[in-house]
């Protein structure tokens, strides 16, 4: 289980929180030993002196105080003296015992003493002195009550909350440009070149953002040059291919086998050129629209070139629509079906479905061919991976790479696996909602 955060934002907040906790502990220890403890000792010393005044002329054979003397003593000093039974009625029962204060009072009075503190409307000390263990002396302390400690607690809590909130805001502000940089990098990974990012934040982040903008601009120019190059190559190749085809059509009938071979080779070369153009084409220029996959499949099933084989389809009823680029997705379906037709000789099964838990619609195409070795399964999505090394046929090696590129552009997933009863299963997942990058 991962306990420590990995993001810079989480680590910054954790660092600030740890420093704050250490600061609070040090402050507490400092206040406790240099403010509270000396104050408590001073209060204990003053109370002990007052108690000594009470017993200054005390004789063990005489009563501690007469009722009249006790009343006059209370009127003059607010100090009350009660037998234990009366003391319980006047608040002793609610008072809490404090060992530290009792030990200090015992040293002051020269014998075992007990100190209890009553925290009611007024803070008061109850002391049982060794000079008269049957009596309790109540010493009220004016200006020191429970609200004073509550205010201190509130102050410490507010300092902690404000410090954490300030640290959170600081870390969020510091990492916001990094978040924008992350989203822009994901766009570049999908083949989309974002607009130049604003250079904000610290000097280091500004430098990284500036370098990223330069890199994105360079990639954009490279993509444009590559598209221009491929368009030129395509045009320059198709012109002589057309002339060769026209020339082959003029061959005599006895050379029909040569003519048919040339025409087939030209068709294969045109198909390879089309795949190269599809691979470099920017499908993102096509707008998104809500489309049901069942409709696209039915359109392809009606095409003439797909009627040469038995196509079994099981389309889910009430399939939700998904945001997609219609032409690009038709190219995905067409490539999947063409691969199934090329690499198998049996029936082809097409099905759709909806996974509610993942909020994704899926399309599945299964053939009954030899399948693909498990060791080469993932490499089939790489450009120029030849199909003949996996399933015994030639090709440009761009079919699955084009599919993967379009699916990634839709924030979807594509998986390949061999069926238990033979054949390859290709499954495409598409989300119900288009993902928009966060700023």
- Looking up residue 208, the CATH number of its domain turns out to be 1.10.287.130
The band of 188, judged by pLDDT with boundaries at 50, 70 and 90, is confident
Which residue is listed with tokens 């045009």? 235
Residue 413 burial by Cβ neighbours in a 10 Å radius (0-12, 13-18, 19+) = middle
Which residue is listed with tokens 């306990």? 3
pLDDT in tens, 286-328: 788 898 999 888 887 776 455 566 788 888 888 999 998 888 8
Residue 172 in any domain: the answer is no
Tokens of 305: 């070139």
What's the domain count of the chain?
Answer: 3
Segment 265-277 shows an average pLDDT of: 75
- What is the distance between the alpha carbons of residues 133 and 350, in angstroms, rounded to a whole number? 97
Q: What is the pLDDT of residue 390?
A: 46
Number of H helices, E strands in the chain: 12, 12
The band of 391, judged by pLDDT with boundaries at 50, 70 and 90, is very low
Residues 355 and 234 in one domain: no
Which residue is listed with tokens 């060769």? 244
Residue 428: is its pLDDT beyond 90? yes
Q: Taking Cα atoms as reference points, which of 324, 313, 238, 322 lies closest to residue 286?
A: 324
- What is the distance between the alpha carbons of residues 127 and 434, in angstroms, rounded to a whole number? 75
Q: Taking Cα atoms as reference points, which of 125, 159, 147, 138 lies closest to residue 27?
A: 159
How large is the angle between the packed helices 293-301 and 326-343, nearest 10 degrees? 50
Residue 271 in any domain: the answer is yes
- What is the distance between the alpha carbons of residues 359 and 429, in angstroms, rounded to a whole number? 10
Residue 179 in any domain: the answer is no
- What is the distance between the alpha carbons of residues 79 and 90, in angstroms, rounded to a whole number? 13
Q: Give how far the C-alpha of residue 148 lies from the chain's centroid of Cα atoms, to the nearest Å.
A: 42
Residue 372 in any domain: the answer is yes
Residues 120 and 256 in one domain: no
pLDDT in tens, 96-131: 888 888 888 888 888 888 988 887 777 888 888 887
Residue 190 in any domain: the answer is no
Residues 349 and 229 in one domain: no
CATH number of the domain at 62, please.
3.30.450
CATH number of the domain at 408, please.
3.30.565.10
Distances from the Cα of 352 to the Cα of 54, 237, 296, 312, 421, angstroms? 96, 40, 11, 12, 20
Pick from 248, 279, 310: which residue ends a domain?
279
Residues 69 and 207 in one domain: no
Residues 307 and 273 in one domain: no
SS3 166: helix
Q: What is the DSSP string of 134-155?
A: TEEEEEE-TT--HHHHHHHHHH
């Amino acid at each position: 289980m991962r306990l420590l955060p990995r993001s810079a934002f989480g680590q910054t907040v954790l660092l600030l929180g740890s420093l704050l906790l250490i600061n609070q502990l040090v402050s507490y220890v400092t206040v406790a030993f240099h403010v509270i403890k000396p104050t408590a000792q001073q209060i204990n010393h003053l109370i002990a002196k007052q108690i000594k005044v009470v017993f200054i002329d005390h004789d063990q054979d005489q009563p501690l105080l007469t009722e009249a003397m006790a009343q006059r003593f209370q009127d003059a000093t607010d100090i009350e003296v009660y037998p234990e039974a009366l003391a319980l009625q006047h608040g002793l029962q609610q008072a809490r015992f404090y060992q530290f204060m009792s030990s200090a009072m015992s040293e002051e009075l020269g014998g075992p003493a007990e100190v209890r503190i009553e925290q009611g409307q007024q803070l008061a000390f109850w002391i049982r002195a060794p000079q008269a263990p049957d009596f309790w002396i109540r010493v009220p302390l004016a200006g020191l009550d429970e609200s004073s400690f509550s205010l201190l607690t509130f102050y410490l809590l507010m300092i902690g909350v404000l410090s954490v909130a300030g640290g959170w805001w600081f870390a969020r502000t510091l990492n916001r440009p990094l978040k924008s940089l992350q989203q822009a990098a994901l766009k570049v990974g999908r083949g989309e070149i974002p607009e130049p990012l604003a250079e904000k934040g610290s000097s280091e982040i500004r430098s990284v953002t500036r370098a990223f903008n330069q890199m994105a601009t360079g990639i954009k120019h490279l993509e444009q040059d590559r598209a221009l190059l491929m368009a030129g190559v395509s045009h320059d190749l198709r012109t002589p291919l057309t002339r060769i085809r026209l020339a082959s059509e003029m061959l005599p009938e006895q050379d029909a086998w040569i003519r048919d071979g040339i025409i087939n080779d030209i068709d294969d070369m045109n198909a390879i050129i089309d795949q190269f153009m599809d691979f470099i084409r920017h499908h993102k220029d096509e707008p998104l629209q809500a489309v049901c996959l069942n409709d696209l499949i039915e359109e392809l099933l009606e095409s003439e070139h797909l009627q040469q084989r038995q196509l079994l389809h099981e389309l889910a009823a009430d399939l939700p629509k998904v945001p997609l680029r219609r032409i690009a997705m038709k190219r995905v379906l067409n490539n999947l079906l063409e691969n199934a037709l090329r690499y198998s000789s049996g029936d082809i099964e097409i099905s759709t479905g909806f996974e509610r838990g993942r909020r994704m619609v899926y399309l599945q195409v299964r053939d009954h061919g030899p399948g693909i070795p498990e060791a080469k399964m993932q490499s089939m999505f790489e450009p120029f991976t030849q199909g003949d090394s996996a399933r015994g046929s030639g090709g440009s090696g761009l079919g699955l790479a084009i599919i993967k590129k379009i699916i990634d552009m839709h924030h979807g997933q594509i998986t390949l696996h061999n069926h238990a009863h033979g054949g390859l299963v290709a499954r495409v997942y598409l989300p119900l909602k288009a993902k928009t990058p966060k700023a």
